[in-house]
Amino acid sequence: MIQLIFLCTMGFIAAFIDAIAGGGGLITVPAYLLAGFPPHLALGTNKFASTTGSFTSSYRFIKAGKVNFEFLKLVIPLVFIGAVLGVKTVLLIDQSFLYPIVMLLILLVGFYTIFSKDIGISHNYKGLTKKTLFAGLALGFSLGFYDGFFGPGTGSFIIFGLIYIFKLDFVHASGNAKVMNFVSNLASLITFALSGKINYKFGVIIGIFMILGAQLGAKTALNKGNKLIKPIFILMSLGVAIKMLFNLV
């Protein structure tokens, strides 16, 4: 019972933060491992519960008109395929070699955002070009694969990539990122489910708490806007990097 209460609490907090700036897996995956879940079961159950939260926050952003369906309808199939391939791969090989690479990349993302005062503050989207479309599709496939294979920092990478490629502000980038993240979560969930790596008894209950957290987080992000999202985005990016550094030492 204490184990379930702990995971529900962590799930609520993670979904709230993830709806705003990504990085919810930074909280939930260690929580599952701390609660005694084996690694693959922790990843699978986390995907099951977090998919409910990402769906809720995606719906909130869609309803508020903060997503770009012109781009999403093209990138979603690649995100899905990438995530399935990522899960298939993680079930076969060790993930540990990725730690130093991802830690360095996400540190760079965090510090770049800190020192770029105007990044993500104004919405300067000019439409799709061949160059931005190709870059966006590559981003979708590669981060779908990464989310299925490993996961930490996926939301931060997607938000940063969308801002950098399409000149979106943080609110619009977060909205599109949540839809892409929901698709990668769903694809990963299906693949983990077929592999029997989900604890449904815990996942359903934790998922309910993640829905509540995601609703509150998305509402907060839409009301408070870029001034709230940017500092939380930076904190979550650096937090993921610090956690990975501790895992290395």
Query: How many domains, in total, are found in the chain?
Result: 1
Residue 171 near residue 131 (C-beta atoms within 8 A): no
Separation of alpha carbons 31 and 186, rounded Å: 21
All residues at 6 or more sequence positions from 58 whose CB lies less than 8 Å from its CB, including other chains: 67, 175, 178, 179, 181, 182
Q: What is the pLDDT of residue 87?
A: 82
Q: What is the pLDDT of residue 34?
A: 83
The DSSP 8-state label assigned to residue 92 in this structure reads T
Q: Quote the tokens at residue 71.
A: 């781009």
Residue 14 near residue 210 (C-beta atoms within 8 A): yes
Q: What is the pLDDT of residue 133?
A: 93
Q: What is the pLDDT of residue 141?
A: 96
Q: What is the pLDDT of residue 117?
A: 65
pTM for the model: 0.80
Q: 207-217 burial, b if ≥16 CB within 10 A, otherwise e?
A: bbbbbbbbbbb
Q: Which of 50, 94, 96, 104 is nearest to 242 (CA)?
A: 104
Q: Please list the rounded mean pLDDT of every run of 10 residues in the chain (249 residues).
A: 91 88 77 83 87 90 92 94 87 65 67 65 79 94 86 79 89 91 89 87 94 92 78 73 68
Please report the DSSP string for 93-134 in residue order. Answer: S--GGGHHHHHHHHHHHHHHHHH-TTTTTS-------HHHHH
Q: What is the pLDDT of residue 1?
A: 82
HSE, CB side, 13 Å, CA atoms: give it for residue 237: 23
Q: What is the pLDDT of residue 101?
A: 64
Q: What is the pLDDT of residue 155?
A: 79
Q: What is the pLDDT of residue 24?
A: 79
Q: Which residues span the domain enclosing 62?
A: 2-248
Q: Which of 55, 28, 47, 43 is nearest to 180 (CA)?
A: 55
